[in-house]
Amino acid sequence: MRQAQNNLKQLKSKSEISGIENLIRVMLKKHGSPLMLIRRSVLEKQFNRFRKCLPQVTPYYAIKANPHPGIIKTFVKLGASFDVASANEMKLVLALGASPSKIIFANTIKSEKDIETARRRRVRLMTFDNEPELYKIAKHHPGARILVRIKVANEGSQVELSLKFGADSDQAFFLLRKAKTLGLVPAGVSFHVGSQSTNVENYLQALEISANIFKESKKNGMPLKIMDIGGGFPIQHFDREIGINFERMTCQIRKHTKTSFDRNVKFIAEPGRFLVGPAGILVTQVIGRTFRNNKNYYYLNDGIYCDFSGMVFDHCKYEFKTLRRGQTFISALAGPTCDSFDTLSMNEEIPELYVGDVVYVKNIGAYSCASATPGFNGFPPAKIVLV
């Protein structure tokens, strides 16, 4: 039985790869490279997967993962809400059709000008984690609905966020009470377990701590309504990666949300990577090759400064694939700039490549083009095409 299931899996993955490689060939002819393909069907699949696994949680797409207008429009059509980090992101999602009531300004540190913009644009929901921020919000956006972001364990997450954000949980109630005295609406609690969090315990522990804040607030006559479980939901970056099972993970989260909170509590989340990461395929081409240090070095037309920037800022590792088949050799891959830091890998098992050959990476839709530096050494980032 298991053998049959494995065979079926292998067949499916073979046909998926050939479908992707055909798409790459067609798109390359049309657009050239470097090219970031974003598959709408995968955006939709991930959104529906999230909704199915956590039906009681409203997803606010964290556009910082990839703010391309085509992606935002796709999520607007699917009925998503949005997490924005700045007034510019806010203006972008509003211009693309999102309603202000479906936006959370989820940056705990906001400039006074950005808070003003939120008031003018009628975006009322926001997060904070410190008292000075409350004074700013009270001054520029009286009546705003606020969630206190607490510091929670980020154990094993690829990107640690608790180093920079989150109030101590034992201060949360006092901060919310202070907010109320300043004329704000204390609406609930938020947390972020760190990005690419494969450790479900982070969520379960954070929910437990948050549930206690809800209880304390209720006991003191200040019932809370919104529980924001943040982002962090992990994706598979490598084909044969094990240990990432969104369905199993969310099953545990779902149980916890049901048992630890009152039934009238509204749950929201801020997924970024999970919604957009698997949709992205980066297509690059070899622009030069040499033999040094006993191996082939291939220089690609995209690198660390552009669409592989996630290797630095997102601490991400990618699986490099080629269209060429055949015997593989340990080789090095590098970007196009005059900087040796712009090296992508020193030991990829790939076939021998020639100038013009394709090297591509799947699952690279999040924190890649979003943090690219256009124009360093004169190299442009990949053209983004929704397919």
Which residues contribute to the site for ligand PLP (CB under 6 A)? 62, 65, 83, 106, 161, 192, 195, 230-233, 270-274
C-alpha 336/C-alpha 334 separation (Å) is 7
Name the DSSP class of 169. G
Do 301 and 285 form a contact (C-beta atoms < 8 A)? Answer: yes
* Cβ-based neighbour number of residue 134 at 10 Å: 20
Do 368 and 329 form a contact (C-beta atoms < 8 A)? Answer: no
Tell me whether residue 338 is one of the annotated catalytic residues: yes
Shortest distance, position 5 Cβ to ligand PLP, whole Å: 30
Do 237 and 318 form a contact (C-beta atoms < 8 A)? Answer: yes
- Buried/exposed code over 311-327 (b: 16+ C-beta within 10 A; e: otherwise): beebebebbbbbeeeee
Question: Is the Cβ of residue 72 or residue 161 nearer to ligand PLP in the bound state?
Answer: 161
Shortest distance, position 135 Cβ to ligand PLP, whole Å: 21
Question: Is the Cβ of residue 267 or residue 274 nearer to ligand PLP in the bound state?
Answer: 274
* Cβ-based neighbour number of residue 7 at 10 Å: 10
Question: Is the Cβ of residue 271 or residue 303 nearer to ligand PLP in the bound state?
Answer: 271
Which residue is catalytic, options 53, 306, 316, 338? 338
Query: Would you call 4 helix, strand, or coil by DSSP?
Result: helix
Token pair, residue 382, equals 């990949």
* Cβ-based neighbour number of residue 385 at 10 Å: 15
Bridge-based pairing state of the strands 103-105 and 295-300: unpaired
Question: Is the Cβ of residue 203 or residue 261 nearer to ligand PLP in the bound state?
Answer: 203
Shortest distance, position 50 Cβ to ligand PLP, whole Å: 10
Token pair, residue 317, equals 């590792």
Question: Is the Cβ of residue 110 or residue 192 nearer to ligand PLP in the bound state?
Answer: 192
C-alpha 15/C-alpha 112 separation (Å) is 52
Shortest distance, position 322 Cβ to ligand PLP, whole Å: 28
Query: Would you call 6 helix, strand, or coil by DSSP?
Result: helix
Question: Is the Cβ of residue 194 or residue 335 nearer to ligand PLP in the bound state?
Answer: 194
Do 71 and 97 form a contact (C-beta atoms < 8 A)? Answer: no
Do 142 and 185 form a contact (C-beta atoms < 8 A)? Answer: no
Question: Is the Cβ of residue 159 or residue 286 nearer to ligand PLP in the bound state?
Answer: 159
The CB-nearest residue to ligand PLP is: 231
Provide the H-helix boundaries in 78-199: 87-95, 112-120, 131-140, 172-181
Shortest distance, position 218 Cβ to ligand PLP, whole Å: 26
Shortest distance, position 172 Cβ to ligand PLP, whole Å: 16
Provide the H-helix boundaries in 309-380: 310-313
Do 329 and 61 form a contact (C-beta atoms < 8 A)? Answer: no
Shortest distance, position 195 Cβ to ligand PLP, whole Å: 3
Residue type, 10: Q
Residues acting as catalytic residues: 338
